[in-house]
Amino acid sequence: MKKTILTILASTMIAGASSAAIDLTTGYTSDYYFRGVQLADSIIEAAIDYSEGDFYAGVWTAQPVERGDGGLWENEIDFYAGYGAALSDVVSADIGFTAYVYPELEDGDTTTWEPFVGFAFDTELAPAVYFYYDVTLETFTVEGSVGHSFEIDEVSTFDIGAYVGNASPDGGDDTTYYGVSAGIGYSLSDTASLSASINYQDAEDVENQDDGLYFSVGITGSF
């Protein structure tokens, strides 16, 4: 899962589900960025998510399919879990954690742990704000997002979104990053859907290999 999907997923899960559900997702992303930093060229990504009531948990992996400068980009596996609850008719809260695992990383921490808390608002543009603290890397991040889904017809939507965040490591320089996206969602059935989007991201004082423009395609099935 592109890690920005975590915020989207968590915001969606806040509403809660009346019964247990499992979602399987797979897709392709032409460039993988996380909080302004390019972590890979093209990747195959896959996720499995479980939700029951206000609780959710899942695992996502990024498998690079292209080589970057200096060799193979590292594989990544993320484990996450959280709990969302409505605080009022308008405001919902979400609390959880993510474990980022880099099994091929030779130097540094192969796993980092990041608890988070977020708030989503059931108003125009569905604004949300999330706070993260990676206890391994000692980095505090705050990220805000907005988005809207336009119904094209009974089975199609046009979806837009934007986000901005700031990552502040202990003893290091802050990084401000931002991004926008536009995409199409198509329902194949009551339990399966396709999605495709074009995205752009950038960050202050970060030099990435590519220009920040990338696209994603994916398919999701629910059980």
CA distance 13 to 49: 10
CA distance 78 to 48: 11
Q: What are phi and psi of 82, to 5 degrees?
A: -165, 175
Q: For residue 205, what is the domain's CATH number? A: 2.40.160.40
pLDDT at 6: 41
pLDDT at 70: 55
pLDDT at 67: 64
pLDDT tens for residues 170-198?
A: 988 999 999 999 999 999 999 999 999 99
pLDDT at residue 92 above 80? yes
Question: What does DSSP assign to residue 69?
Answer: T
pLDDT tens for residues 50-80?
A: 999 999 999 999 999 876 555 557 899 999 9
pLDDT at 160: 97
Q: 3-state DSSP call for residue 174?
A: coil
Tokens of 3: 């890690």
Q: Quickly tell me which residue has 């308008």 as its tokens.
A: 90
Helices (H) then strands (E): counts for the chain = 1, 16
Q: 3-state DSSP call for residue 36?
A: coil
pLDDT at residue 9 above 60? no
**Radius of gyration for the chain, computed over Cα atoms and rounded to the nearest angstrom:** 17
Closest residue by Cα to residue 47 from 22, 83, 75 = 22
The residues facing 181 across adjacent strands are: 161, 199
- Phi-psi group of 126: left, alpha or beta (phi > 0 → left; psi -120 to 50 → alpha; rest → beta): left
Full residue range of the structural domain in which residue 59 is found: 3-222
| Number of domains into which the chain is organized | 1
pLDDT tens for residues 105-139?
A: 877 779 999 999 999 999 999 999 999 999 999 99
pLDDT at 74: 82
